[in-house]
Each structure stands twice: as structure tokens, then as C-alpha cells.
Structure 1
Amino acid sequence: MVAQSTEARFQLLGEFVDLQATISLRRRCLALCTQNVDVTQLFTNQSSLCTNLCWLFQREKNYDIITEAISHGRSSLKIAEPNSSDFLTASSNLASAHHSRFEHFGSEGDLTISIELLRGALRIAEGQSDQSQLALVRNNLASCLRGNIRQNINPIGVVLECIALATLSIEATPRKSHDFPSRQHNLACLLGEKFCQRGDLRDLDEAIKLVEHLLEDSNLRLSSELHASFSQTLGIFLVLHALAAYRKALEILPQTMLLGKQYRNGGILDAHNADVGLDGAACSIECGKPSLALEILEHGRCIAWTRSLQTRTAFDSLKEDHPGHADRLIQLGEMIEMVGTEQSRAEERDGRTTAPSVDLEIAPWEQSLSYGRQWDALLAEIRAMPNYHDFLLPAKYDDLRAIASCGPVIVVNISTYRSDALIVAHATHDRPQIVPLSRRLVNDVRQWYDILSKGTADFENGLVLENHFNEAILGPVLVGLWEGIVRPICDALRLLAPYARRIWWCPTGQLTFLPLHVVTNSPDMLDNAMLLIPSYTSTLSSLLRAAKATGTSTSSTRILAVGCAKADGYTDLPGTDNEITSLVKIFGEGEVTCLTNGDATVERVLGSLSEHPWVHLACHGTQMHERPFRSHFVLRDRPLYMSDIVAHKLPEPSFAFLSSCHTAAGVPSLYDEAMHLAAALHIIGFRAVIAAQWAVDDSTAPRLVREVYSYLNNGRNPAQIPHVEDAAEALYHAVCALRRHGVPLSRLAPFIHIGV
């Protein structure tokens, strides 16, 4: 009787001392019952001890405790008469003990035994009149089967059985019962599992409502532990709901952000202000799905370039198997690209500089939407054919992780919900490594961006001195990037890839405008103890594409060197002539085709690109924020627009050095679209591009160019071309060399490397 009283008090008040006293008393009684061979008391104490020790195990997590509980449970089951209520109780208690051991130690055998015991108990309970016992068994069986869902060959069948059992259990459980909250919570979790299996948001909505009712009902008087547990479940469900919404939004983004409207009006602006891809990735990480986070970022960023890449894909197998479909797809792709770029080219031909009228805006947009729908419909038709089920589908992590063969790729996701780095390396084969970053990072990045964007503008316009820019503007931003982002990532890399030589940054949000490359090894590029060679990539898919591409020319370098020192309305650039002279001196006149000053026209440059795998452009560069496709290089006769570049198809582009201002600047309102001239060169096939994030100093550029090309040409066999894969190392070597010779960081920091 005393043991029953202390047990009841423990259940009421939850005092651990009462549980200890109960177990001690039960053990004494059990010893007495064994001596006196009192079978009834022996069963009672064995069965109760099994339950009491399970409670103790929940607190202590000690393997010996749960093993003792199972031992007492088995003894009580042997004593009980088959098919009796005692047998039912013993089966349920022993099943709970095995299930507890499975949950904490992962033994599949324990789970199997637990399910078998409860199925037997259910058959007994269904033949008896005790509805409360029947409800208990059904709930427990549903809980055990839930642990076996993922391993079952028919997971959705198991989920449906669990939901049916849990529903019947709740129907037989009074709302005032102390078991009601945990049983309703169990049903909610099962509905959440059903959502994960089938993706029907109605199941998740119902699960959320069930948990919300538990938390809102003051009559239930939940313990602090249950309230915390239910709140955590609700949080997970809400994140899953948000993630489903993000994934749905990403499915329709290519339709609503088609090229034509995006390039001319910035129609992508409102959607990107919502940071759909970034927040969706944050939700995925919160759910413990970093691989999905990477897929979402891949799908939700650089949408314009992804569509353009698709239109440029060589449909070799499709052309061979289904030539009609291939021709239609290529034609639609060209139409989509034309709508996005034709108006910019038309304005250039007509000499117009003002925005077109409303009528001119509407018609291309309607055309683009129509072409986009036709494109998606045709893709659906192709994917229904044998062996084409995944044709042009967004990349999965199983495909993206192949990029680890190049070296570690670090995707830095910045979201209002959470910020993390996702590292893809050889050591992260199954899933990306998560490096959690500060939750305030989204505000820090916004502040660093504001400081640097205003500072660079003031510096270019002569409003601040170079020393002030380096010490009061650039310096603090670099320190913040190092402490808040790069240092924790480098700490992780020392474990994941201790022998890595190169890394690729894939930043998101406003971080795409900040110089992570400068602080890859240290805040000032002077301490190079780790010596990682930094590069950038807008997406993992674009880097994979560049890594797989190989040039066919092996007999010569064939560099096209374009220099335009004078242009109407622009300041002279005498340093460009020095750059061209350096190229000829390093590679020889036979390797370099020079188009300078009067020869540097749009027609001649475009006509020469197809004959030269390497191109060097030394001229003014202009980034157009409102109309990105009007961004251009300033040549002698007229601007060479981004639209001209993207419309061009080259046989074997390899390397481009853009010694021009703002060629990797991008558009602030389209920070995840990489809308700059460097990306345009990369998209038409150049495997590696060196470009500048802000203004280039005309006196420093020739020195940097000479260092880069000298490094690439050093020790080369004249019969071989330099390796484009060495361009990143050449740039890093050049920057460090000039830094050691006292060149201010402000003149070197703008230069970045994109691609292989």
C-alpha cells in the first residue's frame, strides 16, 4: 500500500524522491513475495517495477536500468495467464520498456519485439470491455509503428495504420484525462509524417491545429516539460509549412520572372525582396535538411542565367532520339532569349536612350510569358518519354556534390531566420557540412554593404581620400567579414579539407557584393598562413559546367587583346596601352591579336571573339542598375552591351580578363541574379573570368595584368597553351606580390576570379 501511495504521489507531483522510494519499496516487496511464493503480489510488483524503472530510465538514461525493467517485464509476462487482463497489462508494460530502449539506443530488435507484444495485446484488449486499456494499447502501438515507418517497404501504409490507431485511441480518451495531451500530440506527429510522405498541406494544417489546441487549452494544465515539447513540435511544423510554401514559390518563379520583364523592368525585384530562396534554404537547415537547402538555393538563384544556360544546352541525345522535340525546344529557347535581349539591342540600333512607352513594354512581356508556358509544357511532354524523366530538371544534391572534385565550395546563406555556411567537400559526401553563423549576420551584412557601397562611390568621386577609405571604410568591413563569416568557416575547413589549395565562395543576398576573397586567409592579405586560393561561383551548376568543359585548341594561346584608351565623354585610360604591350611582350606577337583605339569597334570585337579562346578587355566598363542588359564595355564606336554578348555563341571560349570598372558589380535589387558583365562572359562559355567589383585604378591595372600573365606563362612550353585552371592562383599571386610592394588594398581588392 505504501508503494502505491508514493507512486500515486509521484504521478501527481512528479517528485523524483517519490519515484526512488516507490522503486525501493517494490524491490523489498518483490523479495518478500519470492520467499512466500505469493503469485498475485509477485506479478503486481514485477509489473509495477517494470513501469517504475521505465520512468526512472527517462530521467537517468542508464542502460542497466532499462535492462532491469525489461527483465521484470518478462518475468511478469511469464506469470500472467494467457489472454487475461494481467497478460494484457504485462505485454503493454514490457512493450513500453523495449520501445524506450529502442528510442535511446537504436536497437531494431527492441522495436520489433515491442510491436509484436502490442499487436498481441491489441487482440486481447479488443475482446474485453475495458475501453481505457484498449485506448492505451492503440496509442502505444501507433507510437511504436511510427518508429518503423522509414524502414518499411510501404511507409505510407504504416502511417495510415498509425493514424487510424491514434484516432481511435483519442476518441476513447476523455479530454480531462492526463493521457489526452500526449495522445493528441502523437496523432499530430503522425499527421506530420503523413505530410512528409505525401506532401499534402492539409495534413500539416491539421497537425498544426491539433498542437495549437493543446497549447491554447488552459484546462489541460500542461507541465512545463510537455508545454516545451509541444511548442517545439509546433515550431517544426510551422517551419515545414513555410518550407513547403517556399518550394512552391520556387516552382513558379521561372514563370513569373521571365527574362523579358526581368531585364527591362526589374520585374524580379519584388520577389527577390522576399528572399524566397534564402529563407527557404534557412527553413530546410532548421529542419535538418542541408542537402535540400542547397537544392533550393540552386533553384531559387540566378534564375535568368539558369534559363539561358538551358537554352544553350547541347541536346545531343534528344536530337538523336526525338529531333522534332529538340528543334522545337531550341526554337522556343531562342525566342525566350530574344525577348529578353532584343529590345536592348533595338534601342542601341535606334540610338534611343529613354525608356520605351508602355505599349512597347507590354507586348514583349506577354510574348515572354507565352513562350515560357510553351517551354514548360514542352518539357513536361519530353519528360514523359522513356529515359527523359529528369530532362533539364533542377539539379539534385547527388549531382551537385560532384563539385567536390574541384575543391571545397562554401555556400553562405544569409536569411532573417538564420544564417549558415554549407560546405561541399570530399569529406561531406552524404550531405553538406553546416557551419552555423550569427543570427545577427543578416543585419551586419546589410550594414557592411551600405558602408562599402557608399564608401566606394565616394572614393571614386574623390569625396574621400584613399587612406581614409582603407582605414575607416574598407578595413572595418574586412574585419567584420573575417570575424563573422570567414574565421568560423576556416576553422571547419581545417578539419574537413586540411589539404585544400583552392576554395570557391558562393555567397547569397547582399553578401554577393562584399569582398570575401580579400579575407579568405586574413583580414589584410598579408598573413597567408593557410594560403587558400579564393574563387567565386554564382551557382554550383555553373561551376560544374565550367569544370567539365575543355578547350580544343592546343597549338596556341590565341589571345584577343582589346584596348580603348580614348572614348568620347570618358576620361582617358593611358594604362590600357601598357596592358596590351605587356601581353604582346609576354606571349609574343604571333599569339596576340590586338584591337586598340580605332580598331576597337563592336563589330570587330564580336567578329574576333569566335577565333580566340582567350580575351583581354582593357577599357571603361559601366554597370546599368535599372536596365542590367544595357551594362556595357565602352569601345571606340559605341558600347558593347551585355545583350550583344549573351546573344553571341562561341566555339571554345576559355578565359576572359576584364580590366574594366564594375564588371562584376551586379545590381543591388537583383543581388542573387549575378547581373553583370563577368557573368555574361561566363554564361556564353568562358570557363574562368577575372573582373572587378568596383572601380579599377588605371595605374595599378597594368602592373596587375603583367603579374597575372607572367605567372600563367612562366615555364610554359611554347607549343602548349597556359592552363586556364591556374588563373585564380595567378591573380592571387599577383595581388599578394603588389600588396607586399606597398600597393594599397583599395586598388587590389576589387579584382575577383569566377569559375574554374
Structure 2
Amino acid sequence: MGCHDNYQRIGAETDLELAIQQYQQALEATPEDHPKRAHRLQSLGIGYRDRYQRTGAEKDLELAIQQFQQALKATPEDHPDRARRLESLGIGYSDRYERTGAETDLELAIQQFQQALEATPEDHLDRAYRLYSLGMGYRVRYERTGAETDLELAIQQFQQALEATPEDHPDRAGWLQSLGIGYRDRYQRTGAETDLELAIQQYQQALEATPINHPDRNTWLHFLGMGCHDNYQRIGAETDLELAIQQYQQALEATPEDHPHRAGRLESLGIGYRYRYQRTGAETDLALAIQQYDGALRHPSSPVLDRLRPGVHLLKLHAEAGNWSSAHQIACILTSMIAQLTPHSLDVSDKQYLLAEFSGLASDAAAATLIAGETPYEALQLLELGRGVIMGSINEMRADISNLLQQHPLLGEEYIKLRDQINAPTRHLDQLGIRTVIAHHVNQRYSANQKLDVIMQTIRSLPGFDRFLMAPSEDEFKVAATLGPIVIINISTFRCDALIVEKHEIHAIPLPYLKKSDIQVREAALARPEALDSQLLEWLWEAIANPVLNALGLMRIPDGSLPRIWWILTGPLAKFPIHAAGYHYQGSDTVLDRAISSYSSSVRALLQSRQRRSPPVVERGSRKAVLVGMEKTPGLKDLPFVPLEMDKLGCLYGLLNLQICQPAPCREDVLSALNDCIIFHFAGHGETDQQDPAKSSLILDDGPLAVADLFETNLHNRKPFLAYLSACGTGQIKHDALIDEALHLIAAYQIAGFRHVIGTLWEVNDKTCVDAATILYSCVQERNMTDASVSEGLHRASIKLREIWISENTTRAANRMAILPDEDSPMTTKPVRSYQGEERDSRTAELYEELPLNWVPYVHFGM
């Protein structure tokens, strides 16, 4: 205990190492049933936790949590030390949340803290510690969710902890500091000047109460610097900025070189210098800012999140300065770290939360790479590493490892065991609310992920397995384009390009008429019905499609069968229908007339889909088609054409020799029916969740069938052929920061195992859905259910529906010319645009309005 106390007083690492050795020896000498064993487990856990805080070694954190769990288990319910052990375990979970971002750890931590506080008498000396710990739990949850009630609860706990602590108590500085954090958070939320003043006051008092050589002093200095920086941003006083830089500098000097908080200290100092550069224009300040950011990015002991944030600042600074070679180097480091940010053990919701902060990073990295003169392949690699991370992770966990099992069966079986532990569903456990079960499950997944990383390194060291589950090589990218070119449209503030993968080369063409700012303006307009018109399609042709098709040599309508193109759209462009680009009133200047279009979220997803390729079994009765038709959906408008769609498909499925299954439109029944189907067709309502894409869903009688449900459904061994989602917005994402993750229903059915998925980009017309599905399935039947029949079928449907659209619009234009022959402006065959959602009398609507683009929203994802 003496060595540990000395470490906590002055921070000497040798004292901590001696303490851990002594705790370990004492524990080894203690029998399992000894009454002091729990105390010794607790002490060893605290030692490991302190070493984790000092070095950032994850192994120490896991050891600490293990000791805390064992200590709590060995402590009776009525033992006076039980509250302390609950609190320690909560601190372990809280540390792991800060390290990994797993929200379940945060909730477990808060539960432990609450129980610890409830078990602590009002007049107990340790009550202030319990109040502080619970306050920190609430504060961190506020940081995650933005719930104002959590912030107010945090401030209350901090205030009570301070009031329960004597003026001369050595821990009082920590409570002052935490209260200052609460006030600063509230200032940032409300802008109340008094809260900022109170925050700075608490920080100063905490610093004054802390000895010069105390290990926490660097933290107090850092927060005081942030308070001064906030004050500078509020009133612009140069003295506040200078004070902030001074505090940041002192905090950095007091932080050991290998400390896990060092990246955060470097980032803050870099921000200070950058603000001073913006104020004065002094190049030395810019150089200093770059130096701090670079040091933070490359600091190995700090958490990945604390390194990525300054790295993004650094990338932008190099870009602004035109240092593209340096920007490229930083881009490579950043994208390689994204996978570390989102380990397999994290839930999808946690990955979404972490990745949203770095939206557009991969596209900026790819653009910087091209500007730096590097190869298109290198730019494509960065896009593949930094986009579609969640889908890529799920696909990786479902990859075919038959070669590994055949050549190294023991290693393959261990890999499968760990993979299954990580893939075990968590959503139903959360619904049960059984804390001990959830905690065990979370610990198991975390441990399995660490072991899996080691196993994968071992596998990659074996002959022939050096690229096991790695990003595709250049040759593999080219193989993906065997059936037709893959066109990736990269959108960045730096510049926009088309990366084109063909079977013989990977090349890039700049798109000078495409600007991210223009796309964002048009993206905002997509929410308005009048924006969805032929002018939008013409803009897509001029800015993107025409240059790409020219580069591919598709400058005119080809003789014979049309070539295939797979489109991968990045950033806000992912909401746009590039397959429908063109001048449709004039004939051949359209994508639709020159190629058959399909989409993919990434090249890697396309490759993985093709690797699982096998012909569907279609003998009569051997496989089934699952039909779910929702003419009436609780709480939503009726869809009167759904019965007609079901009747027509029933006839076509008979021609395809498929057994028809129509389960009850309930979540469990539909999921069960999917297990042995070859085709799944849903006609009804779809819903896109703006805040959480994983909750986007098809609406059934008993509620949603969500994206997240499909993530936990694995049909790859069954190899289902087609999922047709005849509903609104099944390929839509409204959460702009997660647009590159492609977490929509179409992708979810691909992840589940369907080789082809038909979906929609926005709202669709009930009657048009019948026509589109009928034409597509007729082609599938005619072409004997080949892979190409799906994309060709949708293409035929689009052509036919477009012909009707053009014909009806042309008729409207002719009627207008007949009724209004004397108008000043000559009438062309192209109707005048107007707001399709605005109510007008029928005569005016007939004359002026262009019909909705009902043929455009349908898209194909797959092979």
C-alpha cells in the first residue's frame, strides 16, 4: 500500500510496479476462501487500472476489470466494502467505454455507480467519491447522447461531492475540476456567460489546491486552458488566447512522453497555435500547429480517437497550404486507423456513433492522393478502407474460410469459435435487461475480439494466406470488373473524380464541372418534389455521366446487347440517380440508352458477392418465393394496387417453378420464412430513420423489420437469389454523416445473403410498382433466372416506364400549344416545370406540370 500511495502522490512509475508486484504476491498467497481475498483482488485491480491510465495498455484495463469482477463476486451483499467494489467495477467499465466507445460499457458503469451510491450511508466518508463517480457517468452519457437531464444530474452530483468534502481534503481539487467540466458543458450548450465564468473559477481553484509535482496537475492545466480558449472565442480578447496557449504548453510539459493523454494535450496546443495563426498570419504559428497535430497523430500510446481528430485537422492544413505530398501521407495514416476505431466487438450503433465524426474522410484522402500524383489504385484503396466500414466488417465476419479449414483445421475452428462469439446477437439481451448476462456477454465479445486479432495475424503468416480478409489487391479490383466496368464517383471539397476500374486497368478522370457545394445545394432540394425533374437528370449527364461514358468509349448507342456498368457513389451524391442521367426528350444522350446500370456500396462488397456466387436451385417445390403484401398497414395510408401486384407475381412465380409462401406479415414469421427462400418480395411501406440508419425498416403488422434485424440474419449458406423491396426509400439514407456507410435496407438484404436486391431511392408510386415488378420478373423468367436477368429486367422496366412518361408529357405539351397558341415563348416538346406537390385545378396541372419521375427511383444492387 505504501508504494501505491507514493505513486498516487508523485507519479513515480517504479512505485506503481512495486505495488503491483506486492499485490500479486499477496493474492497468490491467499486461499480461495480467505476473507481477505476480495480485498486483495480489489487492490491488484486498482494497481492494473492505474498502470492502464499511465501507459494506455489495454491488457492492463482488462486485467483490472477481471480483478474487480472477482472481488465483487467474492463480497457478500451486506459487506461494508461492497459499495467500493461496485464503484471500482464501474470505473473499469467507464474506462473501457472511453477507450472503445461501447455504449453498453457506459450503461453498465452507471448502474454500478448508482448501486454503489445507494449502498453508501449519507454520512459515510466515501460518499463524495460515489457522488463524483456517478456524476462522471452522467456527464459522459450527456457527451454521447446530448440529453440535458444527464448534464444537470452530473452537475448536481459534482456539487454534492464538493459540499461533502472538507476544505483541506486532498481530493477536493478533483471535485472542483469535475464541477468546472459540468459548468463548461452547460456553457457550450446554452452560451450562458455565467457558466463559463464558474467553470474557469473551479479550474483555477483546483489548480491552486494541487501540489506542483502531483500527477493530476497536467489535467487541471489543460482544462484551465480550454476555459481561457472558450473565453477567447466568446469575446476575442488576445490575452485569453495567450493564456490558453500557456496553459496548454504547461499541461503538455507536465505530461510524460508515453502518456495516453498526450495526443489530447498536443491537439489542444495545436488548436491554440492555429487560432493565433488565423489572428496574426504568422507562419511560425502555422508551423507549430502542424507540428503539434503531427505529434498527436503519431502518438502510439494514445487512443485511436484522440489521434484521428488532430489528424483530420492536419490533413486540412496541408491541403490549404498546397502540401499535397504531405497530405497524401497523412491521408494514408488516417484511413488505416479507421478499422482500429471500430473493432468487430462493437455494436453497429457504437460504430455509427464513432464513424459519423469522420464523414467524408476517405473521399478527401482519395482526392489528396490523386492531386499528389499517386496512382488511381492507391486512391481507390483509401476509399475502400475508409468507406462502408460497418458493412465491410459484417461481411468479413461471414467470409468463406473453407480453404483455411481444409489446410489448417485447428486454426480455422478456433477462428470460427471466436467469430461466433463476436457475432452473437446483443439486441435481445439488451431487451432482457439482465445486467449480469449483458456484462458477461460484453466481456466475452471484447476478449474474443482481442484473441481474433492475434489469430488473424497468425493466419496471415501462413503460406498462401498473407492477404487473408485484407482489402483487395490491384489484380483483385480488376477481376471485379470482368463483367463490366466499375465507376466510383469520388466527391471531395478538394476536387471530384471518377475512378474507373476495368478488367485491364484502373484509371481516373477529373470531373471539373462537379463541385461538392453544388451537390449539397441540389441534395437539399431533393426533399422538394419540384426538384425531382428532368433538369436534375440533365445536370447529372453533363457533370458526371457524359464524361464517364466518353472515357469508356460509350459515345453512342451500342449495337447488340448493352454493356453493364456498376456505379459506386460517394458522399451526398449517393442520393442521386446516376443511372437515369441524360436528355430523355432528345434520344440517345442518356445512360439508360447506352448501358445497363447496377450499384454497389464498394468494390469489396461486389467482390464478396461474386465469390459466393452459385446457380440457384429452381426445381419445382425445392425452393420457395416469399411474398409479403401489405395493402393495409396500421397507421399508414392504404396501397390499393398491392393485391394486383401479388396476383401478377403469383402467376410469374408459377412459371419460374417456385413454391409460393405468404407468411403472416409479422416480424418473426417473415424472418423465419426467409431461411429457405430463393426470392423475397415485399410490397408495402418502407421507413427511413433519420437518426439511426440501422432502424430503417419495412413496416409489418406488428412493427418494423429493421436493417439491424438483417445484420443478425445470415443466409449465405442458403444463397438466396433476389430480394425485391417494392416500398418507398429502401435505398435511402437521411443521416448525412453516415451516407458512406450505406446502411439502408438494400444493403442489409445483401449482407443477409441475397445476391440481388431491387429497391428504391425515394418515394414510389403504387401503380408504377406493379408495372416495374411485372416487367422485371417476366425478364427473369424469360432468361431462366440468370444473374444478368435481374439487372436487365429492371432496365427493361425503366425503358418501358420512361416511354410512357415521355409520351404523356409530350401530349401535355401539345395540349398546351393548342390552347395557348399566342404565348410569347415558343413551346418545345419539353413541358414547363412546376411544383408537383402544389394543389392546382386539373386544367392547369394538365397544361403545365411535368409528370413525376416514377420510373427513376428503382435501382439494382448485386452482381
* Same fold per superposition (TM over 0.5): yes
Structure 1 residues 179-224: Cα deviation after superposition (integer angstroms, max 9, x where no partner): xxxxxxxxxxxxxxxxxxxxx99xxxxxxxxxxxxxxxxxxxxxxx
Match of 1:741 among 788, 804, 811: 804
Does the CA contact (< 8 Å) of 1:290 and 1:432 recur in 2? Answer: yes
Match of 1:375 among 441, 452, 463: 452
Structure 1 residue aligned with 2:615 = 551
Measured in 2, the distance between the counterparts of 1:698 and 1:234 equals: 48
Offset of 1:513 from its aligned partner? 1.0
Match of 1:664 among 699, 718, 731: 731
Local SS of the residue matching 2:609:
helix
Structure 2 residue aligned with 1:135 = none
Offset of 1:593 from its aligned partner? 4.7
Distance 1:412 1:246, change over 3 A: same
Amino acid at match of 2:515: L
Structure 1 residue aligned with 2:396 = 310
Structure 1 residues 202-256: Cα deviation after superposition (integer angstroms, max 9, x where no partner): xxxxxxxxxxxxxxxxxxxxxxxxxxxxxxx999993232222222222221221
- Name the stretch that deviates more: 492-501 or 356-365: 356-365
Higher-Rg structure is 1
Does the CA contact (< 8 Å) of 1:526 and 1:739 recur in 2? Answer: no
> 1:329 and 2:415 equivalent?
yes
Does the CA contact (< 8 Å) of 1:410 and 1:422 recur in 2? Answer: yes
Distance 1:413 1:234, change over 3 A: closer
Distance 1:725 1:545, change over 3 A: farther
Structure 2 residue aligned with 1:637 = 702
Structure 1 residues 675-713: Cα deviation after superposition (integer angstroms, max 9, x where no partner): 011101111221111101111211221121112112222
Structure 2 residue aligned with 1:502 = 564
Structure 1 residue aligned with 2:744 = 676
Distance 1:575 1:335, change over 3 A: farther
Match of 1:387 among 420, 444, 464: 464
Measured in 2, the distance between the counterparts of 1:448 and 1:510 equals: 9
Does the CA contact (< 8 Å) of 1:425 and 1:496 recur in 2? Answer: no
Does the CA contact (< 8 Å) of 1:576 and 1:702 recur in 2? Answer: yes
Offset of 1:629 from its aligned partner? 2.1
For normalisation by structure 2, the TM-score amounts to 0.53
Matches within 5 A, 1:580-729: 580-588=646-654, 591-594=657-660, 596=662, 599-650=664-715, 651-666=718-733, 667-714=735-782, 721-729=784-792
Measured in 2, the distance between the counterparts of 1:369 and 1:540 equals: 29
Structure 2 residue aligned with 1:450 = 524
Offset of 1:398 from its aligned partner? 1.6
Structure 2 residue aligned with 1:272 = 358
Amino acid at match of 1:291: Y
Does the CA contact (< 8 Å) of 1:482 and 1:523 recur in 2? Answer: no
Structure 2 residue aligned with 1:754 = 861
Measured in 1, the distance between the counterparts of 2:386 and 2:467 equals: 18
Distance 1:560 1:643, change over 3 A: same
Distance 1:660 1:393, change over 3 A: same
Measured in 2, the distance between the counterparts of 1:753 and 1:297 equals: 22
Match of 1:577 among 623, 643, 651: 643
Measured in 1, the distance between the counterparts of 2:705 and 2:597 equals: 29
Offset of 1:664 from its aligned partner? 0.5
Does the CA contact (< 8 Å) of 1:665 and 1:694 recur in 2? Answer: yes
Offset of 1:420 from its aligned partner? 0.8
Offset of 1:363 from its aligned partner? 9.8
Does the CA contact (< 8 Å) of 1:265 and 1:627 recur in 2? Answer: no
Local SS of the residue matching 1:395:
coil
Does the CA contact (< 8 Å) of 2:487 and 2:501 recur in 1? Answer: yes
Distance 1:363 1:623, change over 3 A: farther
> 1:342 and 2:426 equivalent?
yes
Distance 1:730 1:495, change over 3 A: closer
Offset of 1:316 from its aligned partner? 0.9
Amino acid at match of 2:540: L
Structure 1 residues 33-76: Cα deviation after superposition (integer angstroms, max 9, x where no partner): xxxxxxxxxxxxxxxxxxxxxxxxxxxxxxxxxxxxxxxxxxxx
Give percent identity, aligned residues only: 27
* Structure 2: 5+ residue stretches without partners: 1-297, 300-317, 809-850
Structure 1 residue aligned with 2:17 = none
Amino acid at match of 1:422: L
- Name the stretch that deviates more: 606-615 or 252-261: 252-261
Matches within 5 A, 1:124-273: 238-258=323-343, 260=346, 262-263=348-349, 266-273=352-359
Structure 2 residue aligned with 1:20 = none
Structure 1 residues 78-102: Cα deviation after superposition (integer angstroms, max 9, x where no partner): xxxxxxxxxxxxxxxxxxxxxxxxx
For normalisation by structure 1, the TM-score amounts to 0.60
Distance 1:366 1:496, change over 3 A: farther
> 1:542 and 2:600 equivalent?
no
Distance 1:624 1:516, change over 3 A: same
Does the CA contact (< 8 Å) of 2:554 and 2:594 recur in 1? Answer: no
Does the CA contact (< 8 Å) of 1:421 and 1:434 recur in 2? Answer: yes
Match of 2:481 among 383, 399, 404: 404
Does the CA contact (< 8 Å) of 2:513 and 2:543 recur in 1? Answer: no
Does the CA contact (< 8 Å) of 1:595 and 1:605 recur in 2? Answer: no
Offset of 1:307 from its aligned partner? 1.0
Structure 1 residues 135-178: Cα deviation after superposition (integer angstroms, max 9, x where no partner): xxxxxxxxxxxxxxxxxxxxxxxxxxxxxxxxxxxxxxxxxxxx
Measured in 2, the distance between the counterparts of 1:628 and 1:615 equals: 22
Amino acid at match of 1:659: S
Which one scores higher on RCO, CA 8 angstroms, separation ≥ 6? 1
Structure 1 residues 612-664: Cα deviation after superposition (integer angstroms, max 9, x where no partner): 21111112111223222222211223322222222222212111111011110
Measured in 2, the distance between the counterparts of 1:279 and 1:366 equals: 36
- Name the stretch that deviates more: 277-286 or 555-564: 555-564
Offset of 1:514 from its aligned partner? 1.0
Does the CA contact (< 8 Å) of 1:264 and 1:627 recur in 2? Answer: no
Structure 1 residues 117-138: Cα deviation after superposition (integer angstroms, max 9, x where no partner): xxxxxxxxxxxxxxxxxxxxxx
Offset of 1:583 from its aligned partner? 0.8
> 1:478 and 2:537 equivalent?
yes
Local SS of the residue matching 1:319:
helix
Does the CA contact (< 8 Å) of 1:413 and 1:420 recur in 2? Answer: yes
Local SS of the residue matching 1:599:
coil
Local SS of the residue matching 2:533:
helix
Amino acid at match of 1:608: A
Structure 2 residue aligned with 1:193 = none
Distance 1:333 1:522, change over 3 A: farther
Local SS of the residue matching 2:517:
helix
Amino acid at match of 2:551: A
Matches within 5 A, 1:408-447: 408-426=485-503, 429=504, 431-438=505-512, 441-447=515-521
Measured in 1, the distance between the counterparts of 2:743 and 2:585 equals: 28
> 1:295 and 2:363 equivalent?
no
Count of residue correspondences = 491
Local SS of the residue matching 1:661:
coil
Distance 1:524 1:485, change over 3 A: farther
Match of 1:561 among 624, 627, 632: 627
Amino acid at match of 1:678: I
Does the CA contact (< 8 Å) of 1:631 and 1:641 recur in 2? Answer: yes
Local SS of the residue matching 1:691:
strand
Amino acid at match of 1:517: H
Measured in 1, the distance between the counterparts of 2:669 and 2:464 equals: 44
Amino acid at match of 1:613: I
